[in-house]
Amino acid sequence: MRDSEVIINKTALTEAITVANTAKNITVDTDEANVEEGTKWVTAGEKQAYVDAIALAQEIADKADATQEDVNDAISKLATATSTFKAAQKDGTKKAVIVVDKTALTEAIIAANTAKNITVDTDEANVEEGTKWVTAGEKQAYVDAIALAQEIADKADATQEDVNDAVSKLATATVTFQTAQKDGTKQP
């Protein structure tokens, strides 16, 4: 190396460009109401200004005959552009859509509506042998439990907790209904 050769240090510039290229990956929109809460966003113009600043810094980083003054100036301009870009970032205000899965509840209601179709009587001697039966009160309790579950299934603003609770209550009512079933004893 000759005494007159100057070594240009571009490390800080290339690191700043790498960070900026990551930071530019942000949602672009025109209205905060379109962007979910907790998500930062900028306008297309704000992002383009930042992308342009990164490109200018990259030109200096790629320039073989760039001076240290050019590099330092590019670092400073990119830092300013980064600060401007960060200041331009806004928070989205769109409420996240929460998907409530009612599949288990719907399936439980279908099964319960099938299971409720059983003979109703007051005396096992009136029901043929081999046929299950319940009292009118036992069946009505089950029908009421199914109706409550259906209300939750039909409720547009039901939460997942509401749905899970309805599934649990219907499962309990189903066990109670199954336990209440008795065998008929009437001979043919």
User: Among all chains, which residue has been given the structure tokens 């530019």?
Assistant: 24
10-13-18 Cα angle (round to 5): 125
User: Among all chains, which residue has been given the structure tokens 């109706």?
Assistant: 147
**What is the model's pTM?**
0.55
What does the pLDDT look like over 23-70, one tens digit per residue?
A: 999 999 999 999 999 899 999 999 999 999 999 999 999 999 999 999
Bridge partners of 37, per DSSP, are 92
Tell me, which fold does domain 11-91 have in CATH? Substrate Binding Domain Of Dnak; Chain:A; Domain 2 (1.20.1270)
User: Do the two domains 11-91 and 103-183 of this chain adopt the same fold?
Assistant: yes
For domain 103-183, which CATH number applies: 1.20.120.1200, 2.40.30.110, 3.40.30.10, 1.20.1270.90? 1.20.1270.90
Which among 89, 91, 85 has a CA at the least distance from the CA of 33?
A: 91
Amino acid identity, position 111: A
For residue 112, what are its two tokens?
A: 């319960």
End-to-end CA, the chain? 114
Domain ranges of the chain: 11-91, 103-183
Backbone angles phi, psi at 63, to 5 degrees: -75, 120
What does the pLDDT look like over 70-95, one tens digit per residue?
A: 999 999 999 999 999 999 999 999 98
C-beta of residue 84 within 8 angstroms of C-beta of residue 49? yes
